[in-house]
Structure 1
Amino acid sequence: MKKRMIWAIAIIFVLVVGSGVYYATAKTGYVAKVGDTKITQQQLNNVLNKQYGSAALETLIQDQVITLEAEKQKVTASDAEVDAQYKKVETQYGGADALESALESNNMSKSDFKANLKTYVLASKMIEKDLDTSDKTLKAYLKENQSTFDTAAQVKASHILVEKKATATKIKKELDAGGDFAKLAKKYSTDTATKSKGGDLGYFTKSEMVEEFATQAFNMKKGDISDPIKTDYGYHIIKVTGTVDAKTAKYEDVKDKVKEAYIEAQISAQYSSWLTEKMADYDITNTLSK
């Protein structure tokens, strides 16, 4: 889906640029000038048409087929559904700022993008109507993707990070003498993201930390404080403050998540073939394909 969304941004970018160029031409009679030589709107149109025309028109045709098919099947997409899809795309792009930046760099408004998303939502709902979401199917999907739904073992820890081993050794001696870990982290740690919180890293899985750090932390018990551990970042002293055991997901507990993931996977897998099948039901004339 993300691939299609990126492509949609590119296509609409071309269309928006084109509309801006018409405005410039109305004022000047040309779109650019090199010395006394003018580059006309028609010259630009010819280049844009050769490079993007066929693909842009194909996208417009596909969107129209989806719209007509949705009317035929009486499928609608509410503002709330489109907004929910927008939030998903935000997550895929790494947050609101990242998506807004992508739209802005392509000269595309949020409302234009949501209009495009609405078409996708309509198609998704029509594909979903024909999916088998029985318990048998969903249980099979869970079995095939078990690790996705299992809960990995986690450790909650705090750390003090310093550059030199001698400094770390000194801090460890203070801790062994009864020093307060949080206070020493605030005083010595070079990790600016955690030092104000007493070095608290929160809960993390083994794969989220560098190997040396993770190996040490996951071999400790709650309350343990490690000797200095060297990583590429410097020397760490780790204090484990909590642990969570790994847990195998049971179908009854994750059924809703399994269903959502299954539907999304099937929509992604079937979208292209479904659209090709629906387009065959309509009388389409594409003059640029000749």
Structure 2
Amino acid sequence: MTVYKRFLRMIALPCALIVMLVGCSESSDYVAKVEGELILQTELDEALRNQYGAEVLDTLINNKIVEMEAKKEGITVSDETIQTEYDELVESYGGEDAVQDVLEENGLTIDSVKDNIRMYQLTKDVIAASIEIADEEVAQYFTDNKDSYGQAEQVVASHIQLEDEAAAKEVLAKVQAGEDFAELAQSFSLDVDTSDEGGDLGYISRGQMDESFEEVVFSLEKGAVSEVVQTAEGYHIIKVTSKVPAEEAVFDDVKEEVYATMLEERVSEAYTSWLTEKKEQYEIKTK
């Protein structure tokens, strides 16, 4: 799961509760009926406050401290930064529609998510201002995690998935006779997610596919077509359209990325102690 997916799930409950608790109505409008008996808005408000009030209040206090510290340090978060983070969140979910579904499930809006992105970034920036990471530490982190920054071997491939071996052999014969692979995938493949795209699976890394499929797809040369391959999902004919060789990472090329990763980790580690220290410096009264 990506950082942004974790972030959205992390803020979903607190944000939704803040909206409900802080924006509670004081009217006696009802929110439900059971056999004609009313459940009032004020009853819902009271139940939410009793169950979640302390948690939400603590979140609001923490946010206020962060904002006050940011003001002292002259730290702000630009609209461009918020939009960039939001765009990456959307991309990690596979598009606006997928994000909108998650928002609706959790009673959130795009504005509320962007506000939480602002607070999340503001918190990071405020704590980061007190963290120093030496160049030697960055270099050592890179050495210890070098594999994760390199380019893993990848294959770009397409496939045609059939239900049984006999049908797969018939289609393979058509491929071998020179018929267009993409058109055959559109006509015969059972994989509805890729058939319209001519069977295109995109970039494949090791560990993504069935072991039998993976063994074949990484052994094929560019432009080659496999024999019939059996997996748990059926029978496949695979065509490799491109190959990306493994490439070792160069420190100077990824130095900034390594630093950003380290800073994120240090901020996360420091958050609780930083907040505890700041709470001792502020006069906080709850009612």
Cα gap change, 1:13 to 1:237, in 2 (>3 Å): closer
Q: CA RMSD of the aligned region, Å?
A: 3.0
User: Of residues 17, 20, 23 in structure 1, which corresponds to 2:20?
Assistant: 17
Which residue does 2:202 correspond to in 1? 202
CA deviations 1:102-132 (Å, max 9, x no partner) are 3333433322332333222222111222333
Change (3 A) 1:94 1:137: farther
Q: Is the 8 A contact 2:24 2:45 kept in 1?
A: no
1:48 aligns with 2:31: no
Aligned position for 1:122: 122
Spell out the pairing of 1:84-95 with structure 2 (5 A cutoff): 84-91=84-91, 95=95
The residue that corresponds to 2:154 in the other structure is 154
Does the Cα contact within 8 Å between 2:27 and 2:42 map onto a contact in 1? Answer: no
Matched-pair contact (CA < 8 Å) for 1:21–1:31: no
SS in 2 for 1:59: helix
- 8 Å contact 2:161–2:191 — kept in the other structure? yes
Residues 177, 11 of structure 1: CA spacing in aligned structure 2 closer, same or farther, 3 A cutoff?
closer
Q: How many residues align?
A: 284
In 1: Cα distance, 2:40 partner to 2:183 partner = 70
Question: How far is 1:134 from its partner?
Answer: 3.7
CA distance in 2, matches of 1:21, 1:32: 16
**Could you tell me which residue of structure 2 aligns to residue 173 of structure 1?**
173
Matched-pair contact (CA < 8 Å) for 1:138–1:262: yes
- CA 1:249–1:195: 2 relative to 1, 3 Å: same
2:142 partner amino acid? L
Kindly tell me: are residues 178 and 94 of structure 1, through their superposed partners in 2, closer, same or farther at Cα, counting changes over 3 Å?
Answer: closer
**Structure 1 pair 36/251, CA: closer, same or farther in 2 (3 Å)?**
closer
Compute the displacement of 1:68 (Å). Answer: 0.9
Q: Provide the rounded CA distance (Å) in 2 between the counterparts of 1:3 and 1:225.
A: 39
Distance change >3 Å, CA 168–CA 250, structure 1 → 2:
same
Gaps spanning 5+ residues in structure 2: where? Answer: none
Q: Which residue identity does 2:127 align to in structure 1?
A: I
AA of the residue aligned to 1:22: S
Question: Does residue 61 of structure 2 align to residue 64 of structure 1?
Answer: no
- Tell whether 2:284 aligns with 1:284: yes
Cα distance in structure 2, aligned partners of 1:45 and 1:98: 30
Give, in angstroms, the shift of residue 163 of structure 1: 1.3
- The 2-side partners of 1:221 and 1:130 are apart by 52
Q: TM-score, normalised by structure 2?
A: 0.83
Q: Contact 1:156/1:242 (CA < 8 Å) preserved in 2?
A: yes
* Aligned residue in 1 for 2:256: 256
Contact 1:142 1:258 in 2 (8 A): yes
**5+ residue gaps in structure 1?**
none
Shift of the alpha carbon at 1:36? Answer: 8.8
Structure-2 separation of matches of 1:129 and 1:21: 37
For normalisation by structure 1, the TM-score amounts to 0.83
> How much does 1:190 deviate?
2.6
Determine whether 1:232 maps to 2:236.
no
